[in-house]
Structure 1
Amino acid sequence: MSWQTWRTALISAAATALVVGLLTDTGQPTHPTTVAQASPPASGPGTNHAIDDPLTSERTRAWREDRFGMFIHFGVYSHLEGEYTRPDGTVCRDAEWIKRQCRIPQAEYERFAAEFNPAEFDAEAIARTAKEAGQRYIVITSKHHDGYALWPTKVNRWNLRDHSSFDKNRDILAELKAATERHGIKLGFYYSIWDWNDPDAVHPSTFGRYKERMYAQLKELVDNYQPSVFWFDGEWSTDRPSNPWLTQDGEALEAYVRTLDPKIVVNNRVGKRRLVDGDTGTPEQTIPAEPVSGQLWESCMTLNGSWGYAKWDNRWKSPADLTRNLISIAGRGGNYLLNVGPDARGRIPAESVDRLRAMGSWLVRNRQADAVHGAGTPGIVAEPDWGSVSRKGDTLYASVYRWPGAGGSLTLKALSGFDVRSARVLGSTQRVAVSRSGDTVTLTPSGAPTNDIATVIAIGVAPPAPAAIGTGTGLKAEFWANRKPGGTPTVTRTDPLVNYNWKYQGSPDPTILYSGFSGRWTGFVQPRFSERYTLTTLTSNTVRLWVDDKLVVDNWQDHGPLLSSVAVDLQAGKRHKIRLDFRKESNEAVAKLLWSSPNTPEQVIPTTQLYPA
C-alpha cells in the first residue's frame, strides 16, 4: 500500500523488470488508448488553493462526524490470494504488492488477470456489513499500483470488464454505489498515482501523457459514480518502476479534482503527505498518541496484517482491540478507516465480518455510538491512562477500558474551568459520584462495568459561558511584490481570514508574481472564552507572529511547510493586538493562522473574531 508497508513486508524481495504494456494472452493490448486531453485548471498570480477551512467547513462536516469507514483492497492480486508459485516450485507470499515483490512477469500476471472472476462480489452484503459495523463510508481501490481498473474505463483495456473472466455486463463500482446509497453510506475511491502498467508513467519525458489518462479516469469516476472521497496513494519517489511524481504534480491534480467536484474530500497523498496537501492526513497502521494539529486525519489499518486478501494471514486483531482503537481515535479527533480484503471470488472473509459486527454491536449497545459518531476531542480534560474521553456538545463520554474495583475511582485532569451537572453509566442505573479538587475530577461509580470492551460514563458539563460572537470583518492585509516587507505595499485590503495556500503558482493578488512576495496582517483577535489558547501558524518560507506587541513565533529562516505553535492566555471579549509577517523566498507559499483552546476546537481563526488595525 505504501512504501513503508513495502519495506517492512518484503524488503529482501528482488525487483521486477520495468513494467510495460505487453500484449495479453488474448492478443488485446493492455496499455492505454488515446484519450482526450484533460488539463488542470488555470493557475497563476492571484490564485489561492485554500477553498475553505476543512477543519470546520460544511463540505467536510459529514466526513468529520462519521469517524468510522471501511477500506476495501481488491484487484487482480486478490485472484492469487497471497501466494505465487515460481517456475522452480518455490512459493512467494505477498498480497496487493505480489506482482512486484514476487517478480511475476507481466505476461503471466495478465494471464492471472484473464482468469480473475469475482462472481460472488456482493455489494449489498458489503454495504450491509458496513452498516452493521457502524461504518459511515466505504473507500474501495478503484485502481491499485498494478494499474488495473475495477470499472469499465474507456481509457484502456486493463480493467475488470475487458481483461478478466468476470461477467462483462456487471460493474461492481456501480453495484456498490447503489448498495451504499440504499444503506445511507457514502462511497469513495482509492486511486494509485504510481502505475506499474502504463509505459508512459515511468519517465518524466512521457509522464504528461500518463497524467492526461489519469485525469480522464478520475473524470470517469466522478461522472459515473459521484464519490464523496478520493483517497490517493503511490505518491512517493521510488523505482522499479520509477515514479516521477512531484509536489507540483500534486498541486495540479488537487486543483483538477476540485473542478470535477468541489465537495470531494481529498487525502494528503494527492501531493506528498504534508499538511498543505489535500484535506486529510493519512497515518498508516498507527494511531497518533494525541490530537493532530493543522489537518484532519484518518488512521488506515488492517484487520489482520495484510491489505489485500492473503489466505495464510491469520493475524487477526481482537474485537476489543479494534473497538478501543476506534474509541481512542475519535477521542483524538480522527477517523478510523478499517480494511477488508475480499478473496478471489469477491467474498469478504468471515473473520473480517465477525469482527466488524462485534464492533457494531458495541456501538449500538446502550447508545455507546455517541462516544464516537459526531464526537471529537474533549478539550477540557486530558486523555486518561484508563481509557479515552471524547466530547459531543456539553457531554463528555468517558470510555473506561480498566474499570476500578469496588469502591475505586477514576480521575480526570481538567484543562479548564467547568462544572459537572451529571454523570451516569450508559446501560446502567448505578450512581456515579463526582468531586473536583483543583484540576482533578474524581469519578466514583457504584457498580460493575457493563461490558468487557469499554464501559461508557456520560458526563454532562457546564463550561464557562462564552462571550458573544464578534462582529469582526478580518485583518488588515498588506502585500509587497518582493521578498522584503516595507515601504508602500503593492496591495492593501481587509482579509476575512488568514487562510492561504498559494502553493507554487499562486500569489495574493493578480498584480503580484508568484516568484517571490511578502505579506503582513495586522489588527486584533477577540476570543470568546477566557482561557489558554494555542495559536498556530502553518507557513512555508518564513513567519513571525506578535500578540499584544510580544513576539511569540520567530522563524525567519527559509523553511518548507511547517507548523509553529505558542500557548497564550487570552481574555473573553477583549481585543488582543496581533501581527503576522510572512514572505515567500522560493518554492511554495502557504500562510494560515489557527487557534484552539479547551472550549474551541482547532480552526482557522474566524472572521467574526478578527478586527483590522
Structure 2
Amino acid sequence: MAVSRRLFVTAATALAVTGPPALPASAAPADPRYRIPVSPDDTEADLVRKASQVRPTARQIAWQRLERTAFLHFGVNTFTGLEWGTGDEDPEVFQPVGLDTDQWARALRDGGFELAILTVKHHDGFVLYPSRYTDHSVRSSSWRDGRGDVLRSFADSMRRHGIKVGVYVSPADENQYLHGVYANGSARAEHVIPTPVPGDDRSPRRSYALPATDYGAHMLNQLYEVLTEYGPIDEVWFDGAQGRIPPDKVEKYDWDSWYTLVRSLAPDAAIAVSGPDVRWVGNEGGLAREDEWSVVPVQEKDYGRTDYALAYDAADMGSRDALVKAQPVADYLQWWPAECDVSIRDGWFYHADQQPKTVDELTDIYFRSVGRNSVLLLNIPPDTDGLLPAADVVRLREFRDRVDDELPQDLARGARTTTGPDRVTIDLGSEREVDRIRLAEDVRYGQQVESFVVEARVDGAWTEVTRAGTIGLSRILTLPAAVRAGQWRVRVTGARSVVRVAEFGLYRSRV
C-alpha cells in the first residue's frame, strides 16, 4: 500500500523515548471504540477502515505496558505430582509448611515482573483461601490448623513489594462435578450474589441478581469473595477448560454474568484469556506470531464470551487477508491483544525432577513475545515447601540481567529527531554501533503500521538494515551484526491510517 503524504504523524511527546503519556487504568478511554461491528456486505476497504478505527481501552493499554507478568501454579497438584487433579484429593495433602510469599514477591520483583497471577483454583476445584462455598479448600487441611490462607498471604506480599495482583479461577471444577453441581444440566435462573450461607456475617454493600446455572452461581459466589475480600485485583484470568467429564455433561459457562460481576467489583482489572480484554496467543510456548495484530476479528458466543473468528492458533490473526477470511463468521473487529503463556519448567506445577529453562531460551521467548507486540506470562511454580525453587529464583534474576544487557542505554535518547511524510529520522550526532532496534506506535490511536523498513546512512547513502510488518505497542528487532552509523530512520511502507510513532530506540547490546 502506498503511504499518503498525510499518513505519518508524530507529536513531541511521541518522539520521546519514554513513549506516550501514561494513562491511569481507571480513566475513561480517549476513544471507547474497542470493538466495531462488521457486516457481510463490508468490502476489504471497509474492513481495513474499520480496523484502523478500533481503539484500546485504558485498562488494555495499562495491561500491555506491563510486558512481563508472572504465573504461579500452586495447589494440591504440587503435592500429588499431577498436572490436572481429580477433585477427590484429600485436602490434608496440602502442607506447604515453609510457605513464604514474601520470597515469591522478592524473586519476582528482582526478576523484573510487575504483576503476578495465582491459581486461586485450578481444575481440581481446590481453593487456596477459606471459601464459604466449598470444603475442598485450605480450611480442610491441618496446615496452619485450618486457618491458612494462601491468597491473603500472596496478595499482601505482592502489594508490599510493588507487584500487582492477579487471580486465576478455573471455570472447570472436578470437585463440584463429584458433588453434582458442575455440569448437572441445570437451567439458567436468577441468583442473588453473594448467596447467604449459614453463619454468614457479611453485610454486602450491594448484591447482584444474575442469570446462571447452579455451577455458574457457585463461580459467581467465589468470584465475589475473591474480588471483595482481598484488595484491588488487577487481572482476572479464565481459561475455557471443561472438566474431564462425559461429553454429554458439558457445562456452558455463564460468561456474561461473570464478566458483569468482575467489571462491577474490579473495574480496572483486565479479564483474560477467555475474556474481552486479552486473548491467548494460541500456544503454550510463549511465542507470538511474527506479525501480531492487536486488532483481530472476533465472534461472540456462549452467553457473551469473546471468541476467535479464526482458529485460535491461526498463523495470521489480523492482516488484510485475515480480516477478509474471517468476515463470514466475524461479529466485530476488536482490540484483543495477545498474552503469551509459558512455564519456566516443563510442567505448570512443580516437579522435583524438572529444571528451569536456560537464560538463552528465556531471552529468545522474550524477543518473540514482548518483542512482537505481546505480553509474556511466565509461570514459576512454587515447590512443596511453599517456596520458589532456588534454581528458578537465580534464573529469574539472570533473565532480567540478560534483557538489560540486550537493551541497555537507548542511544537515541535526546538525539535530534525529524519527521517526514512517511518516516522518522534520528541523528545521533556521531557514528554509533547499533544491533537492537525498538519501535512502538502510540496505540491510543490504534495499530496502523502494516510494513516498514529501518535504514542507516552508511558511507553517505541510506542503506536498509532490516524490515518487518507490524509494530503495535512493542516491536524489537535484532540485527545479525552491529551497524555503525550516525543517522537512522524508520520508513513506513504500508499502513491503514495515520501513523503515530511513540518510540524509536537504538541500542548496542552488551551480550
Common fold: TM-score over 0.5: yes
Q: Please report how far the alpha carbon of residue 341 of structure 1 lies from its aligned counterpart in structure 2 after TM superposition.
A: 1.4
For the 8 Å contact 2:234–2:266, the answer to whether it is kept is no
Q: 1:79 to 1:185 in 2, by over 3 A?
A: same
Instruction: Give the match's secondary structure for 1:337.
Output: strand
Give the counterpart letter for 2:274 in structure 1: R
Match of 1:257 in 2: 262
Q: Provide the C-alpha distance between the structure 2 equivalents of 1:370 and 1:96, rounded to a whole number of angstroms.
A: 42
1:228-247 superposed matches below 5 A = 228-236=234-242, 239-240=245-246, 244-246=250-252
For the 8 Å contact 1:78–1:344, the answer to whether it is kept is yes
2:394 paired with 1:351: no
Moved more, 220-229 or 158-167: 158-167
1:212-611 superposed matches below 5 A = 212-225=217-230, 226-236=232-242, 239-240=245-246, 244-246=250-252, 249-270=254-275, 277-286=276-285, 287-293=287-293, 294=295, 295-314=336-355, 316-365=356-405, 368=408, 389-392=437-440, 415-416=451-452, 437=462, 439-440=464-465, 532-534=494-496, 599=501
Q: Could you give the per-residue CA deviations for residues 301-355 of structure 1, whole angstroms, max 9, x where no partner exists? A: 01121001112234x3211110221123112111111111112221222222121
Q: Please report how far the alpha carbon of residue 436 of structure 1 lies from its aligned counterpart in structure 2 after TM superposition.
A: 5.5
Q: Please report how far the alpha carbon of residue 256 of structure 1 lies from its aligned counterpart in structure 2 after TM superposition.
A: 2.7
For the 8 Å contact 2:116–2:166, the answer to whether it is kept is yes
Find 2:156's aligned residue among 148, 157, 178: 178
Q: 1:122 to 1:237 in 2, by over 3 A?
A: closer
For the 8 Å contact 1:69–1:138, the answer to whether it is kept is yes
For the 8 Å contact 1:151–1:171, the answer to whether it is kept is yes
Q: 1:599 to 1:200 in 2, by over 3 A?
A: same
Q: Could you give the per-residue CA deviations for residues 254-288 of structure 1, whole angstroms, max 9, x where no partner exists? A: 23321222211011324xxxxxx443334332312
Instruction: Give the match's secondary structure for 1:267.
Output: strand
Q: Provide the C-alpha distance between the structure 1 equivalents of 2:288 and 2:83, rounded to a whole number of angstroms.
A: 25
Root-mean-square deviation (CA, aligned residues, Å) is 4.1
Q: Provide the C-alpha distance between the structure 1 equivalents of 2:152 and 2:487, rounded to a whole number of angstroms.
A: 44
Q: Please report how far the alpha carbon of residue 213 of structure 1 lies from its aligned counterpart in structure 2 after TM superposition.
A: 1.5
For the 8 Å contact 2:277–2:337, the answer to whether it is kept is no
Give the counterpart letter for 1:222 in structure 2: L
For the 8 Å contact 1:73–1:341, the answer to whether it is kept is yes
For the 8 Å contact 2:122–2:170, the answer to whether it is kept is yes
Q: Provide the C-alpha distance between the structure 1 equivalents of 2:56 and 2:234, rounded to a whole number of angstroms.
A: 17
Q: 1:243 to 1:188 in 2, by over 3 A?
A: farther
Match of 1:494 in 2: none
TM-score normalised per structure 2: 0.59
Q: Please report how far the alpha carbon of residue 61 of structure 1 lies from its aligned counterpart in structure 2 after TM superposition.
A: 2.6
Instruction: Give the match's secondary structure for 2:61.
Output: helix
For the pair shown, the structure with the greater C-alpha radius of gyration is 1
For the 8 Å contact 1:143–1:190, the answer to whether it is kept is yes
% identical aligned pairs: 24
2:188 paired with 1:204: no
Q: Provide the C-alpha distance between the structure 2 equivalents of 1:240 and 1:212, rounded to a whole number of angstroms.
A: 22
Instruction: Give the match's secondary structure for 2:341.
Output: strand
Match of 1:139 in 2: 117
Give the counterpart letter for 2:75 in structure 1: G
Q: Provide the C-alpha distance between the structure 1 equivalents of 2:382 and 2:261, rounded to a whole number of angstroms.
A: 31
1:29-44 superposed matches below 5 A = none
For the 8 Å contact 2:456–2:465, the answer to whether it is kept is no
Q: Provide the C-alpha distance between the structure 2 equivalents of 1:415 and 1:241, rounded to a whole number of angstroms.
A: 45
Q: Please report how far the alpha carbon of residue 236 of structure 1 lies from its aligned counterpart in structure 2 after TM superposition.
A: 4.4
Match of 1:587 in 2: none
Can you give the 5+ residue segments of structure 2 that lack an aligned partner in the other structure? Answer: 1-32, 37-52, 188-211, 296-335, 412-421, 425-433, 443-449, 468-479, 504-511
Q: Could you give the per-residue CA deviations for residues 203-241 of structure 1, whole angstroms, max 9, x where no partner exists? A: 222771111121011111111222100111244486358
Q: Please report how far the alpha carbon of residue 96 of structure 1 lies from its aligned counterpart in structure 2 after TM superposition.
A: 2.5
Q: Please report how far the alpha carbon of residue 132 of structure 1 lies from its aligned counterpart in structure 2 after TM superposition.
A: 0.9
Moved more, 358-367 or 124-133: 358-367
Q: Provide the C-alpha distance between the structure 2 equivalents of 1:65 and 1:324, rounded to a whole number of angstroms.
A: 19
Match of 1:38 in 2: none
For the 8 Å contact 1:203–1:242, the answer to whether it is kept is no
For the 8 Å contact 1:235–1:245, the answer to whether it is kept is no
Instruction: Give the match's secondary structure for 1:348.
Output: coil
Q: Provide the C-alpha distance between the structure 2 equivalents of 1:531 and 1:461, rounded to a whole number of angstroms.
A: 16
For the 8 Å contact 2:105–2:161, the answer to whether it is kept is yes
Q: Provide the C-alpha distance between the structure 2 equivalents of 1:380 and 1:246, rounded to a whole number of angstroms.
A: 50
Instruction: Give the match's secondary structure for 1:130.
Output: helix
Match of 1:192 in 2: 170
Instruction: Give the match's secondary structure for 1:301.
Output: strand
For the 8 Å contact 2:235–2:269, the answer to whether it is kept is yes
Match of 1:608 in 2: none
For the 8 Å contact 2:278–2:339, the answer to whether it is kept is no
For the 8 Å contact 1:54–1:60, the answer to whether it is kept is no
Q: Could you give the per-residue CA deviations for residues 394-419 of structure 1, whole angstroms, max 9, x where no partner exists? A: 9xxxxxxxxxxxxxxxxxxx944777
Q: Could you give the per-residue CA deviations for residues 45-78 of structure 1, whole angstroms, max 9, x where no partner exists? A: xxx9969x99633222332111111110000111
Q: Please report how far the alpha carbon of residue 164 of structure 1 lies from its aligned counterpart in structure 2 after TM superposition.
A: 4.2
Find 1:97's aligned residue among 47, 68, 84: 84
For the 8 Å contact 1:190–1:230, the answer to whether it is kept is yes
Match of 2:68 in 1: 68
Instruction: Give the match's secondary structure for 1:128.
Output: helix
Match of 2:471 in 1: none
Q: Provide the C-alpha distance between the structure 2 equivalents of 1:218 and 1:150, rounded to a whole number of angstroms.
A: 13
Q: 1:460 to 1:321 in 2, by over 3 A?
A: farther
Q: Provide the C-alpha distance between the structure 2 equivalents of 1:119 and 1:55, rounded to a whole number of angstroms.
A: 47
Instruction: Give the match's secondary structure for 1:201.
Output: coil
Q: Could you give the per-residue CA deviations for residues 161-204 of structure 1, whole angstroms, max 9, x where no partner exists? A: 33342344442222222221122111101110011011211222
